[in-house]
Amino acid sequence: MAHQTIHRHTRLSIFMHWFNAVCWFFLLLTGLGLIRNDALQVFPAWPLWMRSVFGSPETLLLSHETVGIIWAGGFLIYGILLFRQEVIPFIREILTVEIPRDSLWLITKGIQMTLGYPALEKIAEKFGFDSRIPDQGFYNVGQKLFAIPSILGGVVIALTGFIMILSQYGTVAAELVQWSIVIHFITVGLVFAGLLIHIFMAAIAKGEQPALISMFTGTVPEDYAHHHHKLWLDEIRASDAAETSPAQGNG
Amino acid sequence: MRTQLAMVIDSSTCIDCKACMVACKVENQVPEGYWRNWVKSSEPRYADVDWMDSVRPAHFQPGGCMHCSNPTCVSACPTGATYKDESDGAVKVNDRLCIGCGYCIPACPYGARYRHPTRHVVDKCDFCQHRRDRGELPACVTTCPTKARVFGDINNPKSDAAQLLKQNRSIQIVHESVNTQPNMYYLSATAPINWPVKPGKPDAMQFWKLINPSIWGVVGLNALGVLLMLGKQILMSHDKPAADNSSPEKES
């Protein structure tokens, strides 16, 4: 039973994940290279280097804009075509938060990851809460708390980017462009700060390798699902049972 | 020494004919309602108690972008689309990098910049780059009937501009709040001189500068946190192999 695998990601959502990752990586590096101002740039050599790599600053800008349009356009098409199948269930899942259970998860998981199990048990005993880490659904609440601002941030980044592109081809109010630049930068910074944790938790943290592998294969081992996403596994089992039991009844 | 193109102006010879403004507008196809250069004039004084002594006719002052050595517009540009060209010392706009955000426009104390209504980028004097490329002088210099504007490399002692500067006293026009080190020199004296404005920043740019350390700080703190966790994982893995996986299995 333990070696059984469970379907977790569709091929298309795996593709969109890596499409997003590659675009983000490219756009982050080129975008950082577009900020060339002594008062704003923390790595003054980076824009010079990027401009050399791309041959000229205008090529760098054009590349950033082109990939940005591909990124936003890709998600727009995906969002429209798979609105019912993938977008709605995804949004419903990330917005489903059960506050007592999930806040306890954040506390216990946080202590366990940073200080370890023995410390968690001691602290739980001292403050009188359950040291067991509550079960989680398809996503744990940490993933949900990253997913929600990432989706909203993505929309903000795409819109402000679009305004900046539009500014070069039609008259956009100067204030709108000026604020778009700042909001674009701030949003990317905040989502990237969360992205660092996402990358650590998914690709580096111990015990999470099956999650990373599932972003290629689409499946996770059953014991991993049981350990990390028990409520989701229970749901699958319940629906499997619901599908099979009437057949058995008839047979 | 590095080339620094500059304009040395004898404003006392200016007759306010505005030929320089017309020449510039035609040469650079400056759209209606905008100017890359100007002729300013002082207020004439006629009536006074001792009017014969105090009579002072208007003084005319040709000007334009001063191609400053401390350009506040360059400091305001977020991308480096506005830059001080090291090869000739002129302040230029890369119109394929500029997206027309206009951060630079209020940053210029002289009002030498505007947002081009059809090209959607910031436009300004470039000392007629296209004319200089074919060995000609800027249009305003060539056209001036009284030769009030003298153009050249002031770091080249043989140039007319450098000679004039050497042989005469000159003044530069700045706003008291910042020494922009303009490369437009007026011989002996000129008027008016109190017209530059304090370099300003749009609200968005001010907000960006305010919040910039916080954004980098949040990213830096998270990066540090991830590195610490990674370090912990590497160092602790020998002590407690697979501790994370084994423990919760006991619970259920």
pLDDT tens column, B35-44: 999 999 998 8
d(CA B187, CA B191): 11
A167 vs B94, B120, B219: nearest CB? B120
pLDDT-based confidence at A43, cuts 50/70/90? Answer: very high
Shortest Cα distance, chain B CAs vs residue A114, angstroms: 7
Tokens at A197, concatenated: 């944790």
Average pLDDT, chain A: 91
Domain ranges of chain B: 5-201, 204-251
Q: Where are the alpha helices (DSSP H) in B110-180?
A: 129-133, 139-143, 160-167
A41 lies in some domain: yes
Q: Which residue of B has its CA nearest to A172?
A: B120
User: CB A197 to CB B97 under 8 A?
Assistant: no
Q: Do A178 and B204 touch (CB under 8 A)?
A: yes
Of how many residues is chain B composed? 252
* B252 to chain A, closest Cα gap in Å: 9
Least confident of B3-7, B71-75, B242-246: B242-246
Mean pLDDT confidence for A28-49: 97
Give the Cα-Cα-Cα angle B16, B155, B186 (nearest 5 degrees).
Answer: 25
Q: Pick the residue from chain B with its C-alpha nearest to A179.
A: B204
Minimum distance, in Å, between the CA of residue A191 and any CA atom of chain B: 9
| Residue A206 burial (CB count, 10 A) | 14
From B94, B222, B251, residue closest to A197, measured CB to CB: B222
Q: With a cut of 0.85, is the ipTM above it?
A: yes
The answer to whether residue A54 sits within a structural domain is yes
- Reading the block at residue B88, the tokens are 């000739």
- The answer, yes or no, to whether residue B252 has pLDDT greater than 90, is no
Reduce the secondary structure of B33-90 to three states and give it as a string.
CCCCEEEEECCCECCCCCHHHHCECCCEEEEECCCCCCCHHHHHCCCCCEEECCCCCC
Render pLDDT for B168-186 as a digit per residue (tens, 0 to 9): 999 999 999 999 999 999 9
Q: What is the pLDDT of residue A249?
A: 41
Q: CA of B183, closest CA in chain A: separation in Å? A: 22
- SS3 call for B3: coil
A59-68, A183-192, A215-224, B128-137, range with the lowest pLDDT: A215-224
What is the spatial distance between Cα B60 and Cα B72, in angstroms, rounded to a whole number?
26
Residue A24 included in any domain: yes
Using the structure block, give the residue that is written with the tokens 């058995």.
Answer: A248
Minimum CA–CA partner of B73 in chain A: A37
Band the pLDDT of A246: cuts 50, 70, 90.
Answer: low
CATH code matching the domain that covers B5-201, chosen among 3.60.20.40, 3.30.70.20, 3.30.1490.20, 3.40.190.10: 3.30.70.20
Q: CB neighbours (10 Å) of residue A212?
A: 14
Residues of A in contact with B79 (CB under 8 A): 34-37, 57, 61
B53 pLDDT tier (thresholds 50, 70, 90): low
> Does the distance separating the beta carbons of B207 and A42 come in below 8 Å?
no
Question: For strand B5-9 and strand B37-41, is the pairing parallel, antiparallel, or unpaired?
Answer: unpaired
Domain count of the fold of chain A: 1
Q: Mean per-residue pLDDT for A56-85?
A: 97
Is A17 a member of any domain? yes
Residue A143 lies in a domain: no
Instruction: State whether B219 and A196 contact (CB < 8 Å).
Output: yes
Q: What is residue A237's predicted lDDT score, i.e. its pLDDT? A: 87
Structure tokens at B34: 């905008």
Size of interface A-B (CB pairs under 8 A): 136
Please say whether the beta carbons of B31 and B152 come within 8 A.
no
On the question of pLDDT at B247 being above 60, the answer is no
* Mutation for testing the A interface, residue in B84, B209, B219 having most A CBs under 10 Å: B219
Mutation choice for B interface testing from A182, A188, A204 by most B CBs within 10 A: A182
The pair of structure tokens assigned to B110 is 């002289």
Check CB contact under 8 Å for B101 and A189: no
Q: What is the pLDDT of residue B245?
A: 45
Query: Is A64 a member of any domain?
Result: yes
Q: Are B112 and B64 in contact (CB under 8 A)?
A: yes
* A175: contact with B, CB 8 A cutoff: yes
Residue A2 pLDDT more than 70? no
Q: Which two tokens stand for residue B4?
A: 């620094």
Question: Which pair of structure tokens corresponds to residue A215?
Answer: 């972003």
- Kindly report the nearest CA distance between residue B188 and chain A, in angstroms: 36
* Pick from B78, B203, B209: CB nearest A35: B78
Residue B175 gets which letter from DSSP? B
Q: Looking at the partner chain, which of A58, A168, A196 has a beta carbon nearest the beta carbon of B223?
A: A196
Query: Which residue in chain A is spatially nearest to B219 when comparing CA positions?
Result: A193
Cβ distance A44 to A38 under 8 Å? yes
The helix (run of H) or strand (run of E) holding residue A219 is strand A219-221
Residue-averaged pLDDT of chain B: 91
Strand partners, B8: B150, B185
CB contact under 8 A, B226 and A179: no
Helix (H, G, I), strand (E, B) or coil at A169: helix
Strand partners, A214: none
Tell which phi-psi region holds residue B184, choosing left (phi > 0), alpha (psi between -120 and 50) or beta.
Answer: beta
pLDDT at residue A165 tops 90 = yes
Indicate whether A213 belongs to any domain. no
Mean pLDDT calculated for residue range B102-129: 96
- Chain B interface includes A177 (CB < 8 A): yes
Q: How far is CA A24 from CA A136, A165, A198, B227, in A?
A: 28, 18, 13, 21
Residue numbers of the domain that contains A19: 7-81
Domain assignment present for residue A133? The answer is no
Given a cut of 80, whether residue B50 has pLDDT beyond it is no
Is the confidence at residue B249, as pLDDT, over 80? no
Query: What percentage of residues in chain A have a pLDDT greater than 70?
Result: 96
